Amino acid sequence: MLKKMGEAVARVARKVNETVESGSDTLDLAECKLVSFPIGIYKVLRNVTDQIHLITLANNELKSLTSKFMTTFCQLQDVPVEKLAAMPALRSINLRFNPLSAEVRVIAPPLIKFDMLMSPEGARAPPP
């Protein structure tokens, strides 16, 4: 079991390093056996978070994403509404101050059964 955990940690580290080194706008953490978003990732990505527009977290075991996730990655643009709508235990998602597409703003409300918090279109986050 420890070996599998170590392999999962190494996989996350590799993927994060690839994103930082390539300057990619995508962070792919799919199939990393995550149960939460690793705190150490915020520190490693601190210089590139503003350029990340897509984060893939598919096929993990996530129970929640903290407010730190939402405030750190406040420039996400694409929200997989259909996948969120298929999550029966999801109660709320805070996407305030993200430049969400018009499509997400129109399609999401009738599909979802949870609270989706969004800022008005064009709103900007207050300075830190």
How far, in Å, CA of 60 to CA of 35, rounded? 7
Q: Give domain limits for the chain.
A: 1-117
Tens digit of pLDDT for each residue in 41-55?
Answer: 888 888 888 888 888
> What average pLDDT does the segment 93-104 reach?
74
> What average pLDDT does the segment 31-43 reach?
86
Tens digit of pLDDT for each residue in 66-81?
Answer: 778 877 887 776 667 7
